[in-house]
Amino acid sequence: MIPVRRTGRGQRGHAMLELAVSAAVMVACLGGTFQFGYTFYVYNQLVTAVGNGGRYAAMRTYRAATPEDLEKGNAAIRNMVVFGNPQPAPGTAPVLKGLTTDQVEVRWVQAAGENGPAQPTAVSVAIKSYTVDAMFKNFTFTGRPAVEFPHAGRYAPAEKEQ
């Protein structure tokens, strides 16, 4: 029996098909890698910002002569998270695009006193809702990242916030 020799007519176009399939797989892999990497980068920036705000809050003097004083202090902590400065200049850009002070939650953990809340024992700082616009999908971080630090600052409940 004589072997039949193929001329290659049945395999025409396979190289183009293989290139198209492998290119689609490569683009999907690169896109997924970019999306994961960018989301991880943004999350890391949020972790840093929340950590800085938490450390600032832990060392800050707790002033609570009136509810407005407490809110002024919390606003300074939120500014520290968003802008990296408790008293940012007007027009200062946030550390992350789209991050606002409304998206930062500050909560004081207080020991129960005889006449209501007493000296704070810790401060918790968290992101309420921040959306990362990645390449193919949006990711929303709610309640994360969050930190809690023991309060090591001065307790001055009768002082007014400046």
CA-to-CA distance for 147 and 123, rounded, in angstroms?
8
pLDDT classification of 154: cutoffs 50, 70, 90:
confident
pLDDT in tens, 7-56: 555 566 678 888 888 998 999 889 888 888 998 999 999 999 999 999 99
pLDDT at 70: 86
CA-to-CA distance for 97 and 38, rounded, in angstroms?
13
CB atoms within 10 A of CB 85: 13
Name beta bridge partners: 117: 112
Q: Are 115 and 40 in contact (CB under 8 A)?
A: no
CA-to-CA distance for 144 and 148, rounded, in angstroms?
12
Q: How many helices (H) does the chain have, and how many strands (E)?
A: 2, 7
pLDDT at 74: 92
pLDDT in tens, 76-132: 999 999 999 999 999 899 999 989 999 999 999 887 766 655 788 899 999 999 998
157 DSSP assignment: T
pLDDT at 75: 93
**Reported pTM:** 0.78
pLDDT at 9: 59
Tokens of 58: 């832990």
